Structure 1
Amino acid sequence: MRSFERLRVMFGAAPQRPQVIAPEVQQVHKLKRMTKADFEALKQHARDHELVNHKWRNRRWVVLIAVNLLFTLSFWLDIQILEGSLTASRFVGFHLIDLNSALQVMLAHKHIIVNLFIGTATVFVLWVVLGGRSFCSWVCPYHLVAEWFEWLHLRLAAKKLVSDHEFHRGTRTVFWVVFSLLAVVTGYTVFETISPTGILSRALIYGPSLALGWVLLLLVFEVVYSRRAWCRYVCPIGLTYGMVGAVSPVRVQYRLEHCFHEGDCRKVCLVPHVLDVVIKGRAADLKTPIGPDCTRCGLCVDVCPSGALVFDVKGLNRLL
């Protein structure tokens, strides 16, 4: 039932308070009392003992840059290791096709293309294991660029030069349906034409094009008007991979007993609704896996001063 609730939230529904809370969890909630001074002391302790760091963010940046550079080097040096782009590629002979792109193509052609279906199998299994939205934060080049521009947005917002305008999260689900219908009606993969993920991937490999102007406009919009708007409210790729990775054994796990509810994790999260469970009184269990809309970026794990958020592999009983 809770898995269904997490999927519902991914499609845009507001997180709900749990109806049933385990007795031991109620006891933990009752015992927790912390003042603002306690919060500050906890954060200072974390800084002094280097508990707050950028370990997972740095690892993620290295992986993301390495994957995209491998595409570029394979093309320019003709070494044929990772050929193509993120939309469709071949890794040492294995065909890899982006799941959302494959869906768009099959909708446009109005039938299942066998070769395309085969090419998605490896990718499907990979992201079922690693967690679908891991693609967003560990592979997508637009995610990295938008993350850097987000820093500029936050600096300007702190000086009250800009403000963040939020949209309903269900907007992304609407766009997913709209792009799918456009593919069926027009026979053309409309989304692939405007996808900053595909545009940046092709630009890195084959050279820049005028389409980069569209990417720049998106980034400017996110800086001056709506923080991370494309990833949060428009891009259907995240929704497609979120559905695929809903049962992934690799996830971020929340441990209530370690949490002091200081809220830094929600401030850095791209999709803060997935961390609704960290709000005091919202946890129904002592240990809770974060929902399928989580990108597994690790920012919350890095910033948590008490170790309440950790990477976990289901069934292995060990933390990463």
Structure 2
Amino acid sequence: MSAKTRLPVGQEAIQLKGWFNAHRFLLLRRLSQAFFLLLFLLGPWFGIWWVVGTLAGSRTFEVLPLTDPLVLAQSIVAGHLPEVTALVGAVIVLAVYALIGGRVYCSWVCPINPITDAAHWLHERLGLQKGWQPKRTTRFWILGTVLLVSAITGTVAWELINPITMLHRGLIFGMGFVWALVVAIFLFDLVVSRRGWCSHICPVGAFYSLVGTKSVLRVSAVNRVDCDDCMDCYAVCPENHVISPALKGKDGETPLILSPDCTNCGRCIDVCSVDVFAFTHRYDNRAKKTVSTAVDAATEQAA
């Protein structure tokens, strides 16, 4: 183990870039999550009805309809014909997340994400074991089950137990049982399965990963030749299996993180002291070349 890997995660980035620059995307994510949640609470709490509805379905300024495509899909398989506004709202949401990355919803919008992040932080602080790790395909099986149950029962099945929707309702009508659900998810990630809920269980994350399969916004290990193997990016990434293909790729192989599992959270950018990672688009395959490759290219040009 190198001296750098023994440092606390992100400590070197804080020393070299400053605390703010080593946490900027984390802070922006928290502001984004709070912003979207507050938009929906302005009406019930303060009588300011800019947005009416929930993340499942809403109308902004009485003009812009937005519909959760997963809710719409459950409604359709349940045998309910959607209204035109619901279809339009779902198309808008699908287009946005198909462009910026489906699982951006998970890291920048979902109000459950701060809860699971807090569980992971405490898990690491307490030095707990990794715990049970379901297969990553588990969430897709759960997604399929949700649609099947909706078709059989004629209901929008997941919304009956969806912690995102229940948390929203709890903040308006009183938390009550919702606290038990929130605590259950926290404890599940803390002591049962590290990062288990978002990475292995949640069907919403599974759905949005499918939506973002060909998304344009991507993280790139553009300066991967500068990597000092501190492993901080792996430590903070909620889906750290997506890093290696881009970071450890050879010259000529794409530095882009193309896996739809990537949440575009930006934490790898935050904690990297040598600025290996950056946001870019899926058509940007540029990567800083190794010294030997650069020398070879110069030699060929001179010849």
Q: If the length of structure 2 is used for normalisation, what is the TM-score?
A: 0.83
CA drift at 1:284: 5.9
> After superposition, what is the alpha-carbon deviation per residue over 1:75-96, rounded to whole angstroms, capped at 9, x for unaligned?
2222221111111111112111
> After superposition, what is the alpha-carbon deviation per residue over 1:19-74, rounded to whole angstroms, capped at 9, x for unaligned?
xxxxxxxxxxxxxxxx8257679x87644322661011001111111110121112
Q: In the alignment, what sits opposite 1:78? A: 47
Structure 2 CA distance for partners of 1:221 and 1:46, relative to 1, 3 Å? closer
Q: In the alignment, what sits opposite 2:210? A: 243
Structure 2 runs not aligned, ≥5 long: 287-303
SS in 2 for 1:83: strand
- Corresponding position: 1:226 with 2:193: yes
Counterpart CA distance in 2 for 1:229 and 1:46 is: 27
Choose which of 198, 212, 228 in structure 1 pairs with 2:165: 198
Q: In the alignment, what sits opposite 1:177? A: 144
Choose which of 91, 95, 103 in structure 1 pairs with 2:60: 91
Q: In the alignment, what sits opposite 2:2? A: 36
Structure 2 CA distance for partners of 1:128 and 1:55, relative to 1, 3 Å? same
> After superposition, what is the alpha-carbon deviation per residue over 1:99-131, rounded to whole angstroms, capped at 9, x for unaligned?
111111111126565442222121112212221
SS in 2 for 1:261: coil
Choose which of 10, 15, 24 in structure 2 pairs with 1:55: 24
Structure 2 CA distance for partners of 1:39 and 1:222, relative to 1, 3 Å? closer
Structure 2 CA distance for partners of 1:297 and 1:38, relative to 1, 3 Å? closer
Structure 1 vs Structure 2 CA RMSD: 2.7
CA drift at 1:314: 4.6
Counterpart CA distance in 2 for 1:112 and 1:187 is: 14
CA drift at 1:132: 0.9
Structure 2 CA distance for partners of 1:47 and 1:40, relative to 1, 3 Å? farther
CA drift at 1:142: 0.4
Q: 2:56 touches 2:71 (CA, 8 Å); kept in 1?
A: yes
Counterpart CA distance in 1 for 2:156 and 2:23 is: 38
Higher relative contact order (CA 8 A, sep 6+): 1
Q: Equivalences for 1:121-140 in 2 at 5 Å?
A: 121-140=91-110
Q: 1:252 touches 1:310 (CA, 8 Å); kept in 2?
A: yes
Structure 2 CA distance for partners of 1:84 and 1:268, relative to 1, 3 Å? same
SS in 2 for 1:311: strand
Counterpart CA distance in 1 for 2:242 and 2:206 is: 14
Counterpart CA distance in 2 for 1:179 and 1:287 is: 35
Structure 2 CA distance for partners of 1:213 and 1:283, relative to 1, 3 Å? farther
Structure 2 CA distance for partners of 1:246 and 1:53, relative to 1, 3 Å? same
Counterpart CA distance in 1 for 2:58 and 2:4 is: 52
Structure 1 runs not aligned, ≥5 long: 1-34
Q: If the length of structure 1 is used for normalisation, what is the TM-score?
A: 0.79
Q: 1:128 touches 1:248 (CA, 8 Å); kept in 2?
A: yes
Q: 2:13 touches 2:270 (CA, 8 Å); kept in 1?
A: no
Q: In the alignment, what sits opposite 1:155? A: 125
Q: Amino acid of the residue matched to residue 288 of structure 1?
A: L
Q: In the alignment, what sits opposite 2:262? A: 294
> After superposition, what is the alpha-carbon deviation per residue over 1:138-167, rounded to whole angstroms, capped at 9, x for unaligned?
0000011211122112222x1x5x542211
SS in 1 for 2:253: coil
Structure 2 CA distance for partners of 1:283 and 1:242, relative to 1, 3 Å? farther
Counterpart CA distance in 2 for 1:65 and 1:231 is: 19
Structure 2 CA distance for partners of 1:257 and 1:210, relative to 1, 3 Å? same
Q: In the alignment, what sits opposite 1:101? A: 71
SS in 2 for 1:175: helix
Counterpart CA distance in 2 for 1:164 and 1:283 is: 36
Counterpart CA distance in 1 for 2:173 and 2:284 is: 42
Q: In the alignment, what sits opposite 2:295? A: none
Q: 1:137 touches 1:296 (CA, 8 Å); kept in 2?
A: yes
Counterpart CA distance in 1 for 2:191 and 2:136 is: 19
Q: 2:78 touches 2:156 (CA, 8 Å); kept in 1?
A: yes
Counterpart CA distance in 2 for 1:282 and 1:223 is: 36
Q: 1:261 touches 1:280 (CA, 8 Å); kept in 2?
A: no
